[in-house]
A and B are shown apart, each in its own frame.
Chain A
């Protein structure tokens, strides 16, 4: 008996629709659960006060600060290196063994799992360089982690800049570097910004690499050598130890909302860049 292809078609379509729907539903449900169970416990006090009794009461201000410091500093260090690499690969060399080796290095870095970064950061920054569990150890580790993302997105952005813009610049007598800084980079700015924002999102949601390098102190980090928590680490400890379900959900909500906002901003910027060139 041969199944009528038309019927099979309809069946398949329905099944695929269901799969798509189910997938989206799971992911949306996750956000909704966090939202619904976290929102009752979010107020100004939660955002701005300090945790008390290991986090059972009080707020998460130090971990918000810790997260912001970590993200900003990692980006500050990673961006010049990343954009510099991207500029080098696109503007200053042709495809050769050199570029292939460098790209291999970047791709490999991208593939390393976060626990290995945690392991490396712990033995290298915390122990060998004696930086201890600190903001600087965390920053340097996360910097290396997000470097591949910045390099990749910057490269894409720079490549998307039309060649004739560069030609015009050269024909007007500009040097290569002048062209890069005055013509190419400004045009590629939104793409590069997208990469930066995606990296910020990554730094904010990282846990394994952060907990072994930045530590988990409840204090407000006021120097590069202070330990502190990021929201992700604080959430993990609250959840794992069952310290407070309410605070856990509330922290999760702040965390998820921050990341969603950052990613939305990243997409908005990326679309601006695409719109510019299509």
Chain B
């Protein structure tokens, strides 16, 4: 019994050590591939992921890793050189401007409601009043007598920051409004609750939800380009200093016609073309 147990334990230990050893050798996969990491805004993240997918197909020697964390975290990570590219969905503050800002596209913030909601248009003032708690009922917008289930993003979110800057101006978002922590989950709530309203990145809009026109202007790429739709924010790639090597290659790809077409297909407004 002793011999068997000891041998089994030793074998297990050996396997574990070999396993750990082989894993440890692969720190950052640096031996195999050129890896760059992007981190930051969760609004920019899915599009970076898509761009990364295409980029890696064309550049098999390179790996692009995309993380979230939020715009502020992305700014920090870029400044600390923890990542090669930081992603932000809001403009940089003055003390953050040591970073190089590379706009990769523009994104509209669109107000969404359930597809079955008959309301079609809303003014910017009304949006603000819904979110500061003054307008609470759909009958104030021409629909039935029923409370509005408003949804916002959480504090610290770049999308919320942009929304607060563009719509709320200096006012606070009311405490009774529900909070979800991603574009996807806001969209999901609005898609399933007939009385909900929310704001999401334009690139995230699909058939599950309906967009409202703001003061008669629809949130479309054309309207953004022609400056008619104003709830717009830039998606920024941030680097410390000029991008080099794989980083530069990736950013060049994103700004190339192919990259911009990918973004356009996703509902974003390209910076060129």
| Residue positions of A touching B, CB distance < 8 A | 52-54, 73, 76, 132-133, 135, 181-182, 185-186, 215-219, 222-227, 240-243
- Give which listed residue, B16, B29, B182, B191, contacts A223 with CB less than 8 A: B29
| Contact B24 A223, beta carbon cutoff 8 Å | yes
> Which chain B residues border A185 with CB–CB below 8 Å?
5
- Give which listed residue, A53, A76, A133, A240, contacts B182 with CB less than 8 A: A240
Complex CA–CA separation, A52 to B50 (angstroms): 9
| Contact A240 B188, beta carbon cutoff 8 Å | yes
Chain B: interface secondary structure?
Answer: helix
Complex CA–CA separation, A101 to B146 (angstroms): 58
Complex CA–CA separation, A240 to B183 (angstroms): 10
Q: Which of B114-142 contact A (CB under 8 A)?
A: none
| Contact B28 A225, beta carbon cutoff 8 Å | yes
| Contact B27 A223, beta carbon cutoff 8 Å | yes
Q: Is B34 in the interface zone, CB < 8 Å from A?
A: no
| Residue positions of B touching A, CB distance < 8 A | 1-2, 5-6, 16, 20, 23-29, 46, 49-50, 53, 65-68, 82, 182-185, 187-188, 191, 208
Contact of A222 with B67 at beta-carbon distance under 8 Å, contacts A54-B46, A181-B5, A242-B184 already known: no
> Which chain B residues border A52 with CB–CB below 8 Å?
53
Contact of A186 with B191 at beta-carbon distance under 8 Å, contacts A218-B49, A219-B65, A241-B185 already known: no
- Closest Cβ of chain B: how far from A121's Cβ, in Å? 16
- Closest Cβ of chain A: how far from B3's Cβ, in Å? 10
> Which chain A residues border B29 with CB–CB below 8 Å?
222-223, 226
| Contact A240 B16, beta carbon cutoff 8 Å | no
| Contact A240 B24, beta carbon cutoff 8 Å | no
- Closest Cβ of chain A: how far from B47's Cβ, in Å? 10
> Which chain A residues border B185 with CB–CB below 8 Å?
240-242
Contact of A242 with B1 at beta-carbon distance under 8 Å, contacts A219-B65, A224-B24, A226-B29 already known: no
Which of A219, A227, A242 is packed against the most chain B CB atoms within 10 Å?
Answer: A242
| Contact A186 B187, beta carbon cutoff 8 Å | no
| Contact B6 A181, beta carbon cutoff 8 Å | yes
> Which chain B residues border A222 with CB–CB below 8 Å?
23, 26, 29
Complex CA–CA separation, A219 to B208 (angstroms): 28
> Which chain A residues border B26 with CB–CB below 8 Å?
222-226
| Contact A242 B208, beta carbon cutoff 8 Å | yes
Complex CA–CA separation, A72 to B2 (angstroms): 25
Which of A132, A182, A223, A225 is packed against the most chain B CB atoms within 10 Å?
Answer: A223
Complex CA–CA separation, A242 to B191 (angstroms): 9
Could you jot down 12 A-B contacts, CB within 8 Å? A76-B16, A132-B82, A133-B67, A181-B6, A219-B65, A223-B23, A224-B20, A226-B29, A227-B65, A241-B182, A241-B184, A242-B187
| Contact B2 A181, beta carbon cutoff 8 Å | yes
Complex CA–CA separation, A53 to B16 (angstroms): 34
> Which chain B residues border A226 with CB–CB below 8 Å?
26, 29
Contact of A240 with B184 at beta-carbon distance under 8 Å, contacts A186-B1, A224-B24 already known: yes
> Which chain B residues border A73 with CB–CB below 8 Å?
20
- Closest Cβ of chain B: how far from A215's Cβ, in Å? 7
- Closest Cβ of chain B: how far from A243's Cβ, in Å? 7
| Contact A223 B5, beta carbon cutoff 8 Å | no
- Closest Cβ of chain B: how far from A94's Cβ, in Å? 27
| Contact A241 B188, beta carbon cutoff 8 Å | yes
- Give which listed residue, A53, A135, A186, A243, contacts B184 with CB less than 8 A: A243
Chain A residue, CB-CB nearest to B17 = A76
Which of A181, A215, A226, A241 is packed against the most chain B CB atoms within 10 Å?
Answer: A241
> Which chain B residues border A217 with CB–CB below 8 Å?
65-67
